[in-house]
Structure 1
């Protein structure tokens, strides 16, 4: 038997190496495409945390600079309304109308920071996000108050694929019956 030529062995080895590389590339592209088709749970958490942060910064940062020529908080409303559900808009409009005169007289303003967010619960159509930071609210004349820490629980609803704020409350204010503020339930 005649020994095989070294050149043939080199060509076969090269073809096998090329096939291996092509297979690895095909596998990597297939995995990437499959992962990008399905949003991860972390992507969903990131979306609701971002929306809650955006709401806090829009809704709790206002001053006389948001007033229009008619002394209405038009810029403020324009900033917040796209972030909230139609149900929540009714409460928002009442609160905004109530605070407009004080803002117009230079007696009311609010400044908020968001230092942290966490997802308390998340389903396909609802979410609850805890948002914390510092809040400075000036009501009435006088010196500027110091910033105080806050923690809010923000409820969101998924409306046609967009997360919108549906309500908010002080974090921890939802107490079980028989529970005193700041204490555990008695048994």
Structure 2
């Protein structure tokens, strides 16, 4: 009768090999998970930056675009008021509402028509609930002279726009010209990227 074979060394080797393979798979899986999480964070940050730039850009366009065609029979511009206010925090919207009559008076008295154009936007600083953006562009303006309109020289602008996040939405909380807001603009403000579709 032949001696019985002993499979114990082979079984031990197989178990060790299997344990090694499983350990490698666990390490690879953990690395992939970490990479996906980090990539997800980067995507989230980029999405937030794009929302900040979009709101800042729309604010610069809307605050600088108005004219006689928006006046109602009360010599106010309700469409202009609503369009700007929906981008503002409640506090800033209250301040805007107190001062918007100045723009309306220039339209009534001088027939001023203005149109904003944005060339570029950038984000200087951003965290979970606040951000600072720069918007650069120009304002085309014309005045009424009798039945004719006379164009004036375009006015360039660079705005520093302060935003806060309220209930998941980025809103403008304050703004100023870059020259007043920043004596030494950071590098991110000196080389901002053109907005999609902008025409410098």
Pairing partner for 2:166 from 144, 159, 163: 159
Instruction: Give CA deviations for 1:93-132 in whole Å, capped at 9, x if unaligned.
Output: 1221122122123432221100100001101111110000
Distance between the aligned counterparts of 1:158 and 1:140, measured in 2?
Answer: 40
Pairing partner for 2:175 from 159, 168, 178: 168
Q: Given the two structures, how large is their TM-score scaled by the length of structure 2? A: 0.65
107-116 or 124-133: which moved more? 107-116
Instruction: Tell me which residue corresponds to 2:153.
Output: 146
SS at match of 1:143: strand
Unpaired runs of at least 5, structure 2: 1-28, 184-200
Pairing partner for 1:53 from 54, 57, 61: 57
Instruction: Give CA deviations for 1:120-146 in whole Å, capped at 9, x if unaligned.
Output: 110111111000011134578683211
* Bigger Rg, which one: 2
Instruction: Tell me which residue corresponds to 1:14.
Output: none
Q: CA RMSD in A?
A: 2.8
Indicate how the Cα distance of structure 1 residues 92 and 124 shifts in structure 2: closer, same or farther if over 3 A, else same: same
Distance between the aligned counterparts of 2:127 and 2:41, measured in 1?
Answer: 19
Instruction: Tell me which residue corresponds to 1:11.
Output: none
Instruction: Tell me which residue corresponds to 1:74.
Output: 78
Instruction: Tell me which residue corresponds to 1:87.
Output: 91
Distance between the aligned counterparts of 1:65 and 1:54, measured in 2?
Answer: 20
Indicate how the Cα distance of structure 1 residues 96 and 139 shifts in structure 2: closer, same or farther if over 3 A, else same: farther
Instruction: Give CA deviations for 1:155-175 in whole Å, capped at 9, x if unaligned.
Output: 001011110001110013135
Unpaired runs of at least 5, structure 1: 1-26, 177-187
Aligned residue pairs, count: 150
Distance between the aligned counterparts of 2:143 and 2:93, measured in 1?
Answer: 23
Pairing partner for 1:64 from 68, 73, 98: 68
Instruction: Tell me which residue corresponds to 1:129.
Output: 133
Instruction: Give CA deviations for 1:54-107 in whole Å, capped at 9, x if unaligned.
Output: 111111100111112221111101111110011111221122112212212343
Distance between the aligned counterparts of 1:93 and 1:138, measured in 2?
Answer: 24
Distance between the aligned counterparts of 2:144 and 2:96, measured in 1?
Answer: 21
SS at match of 1:95: helix
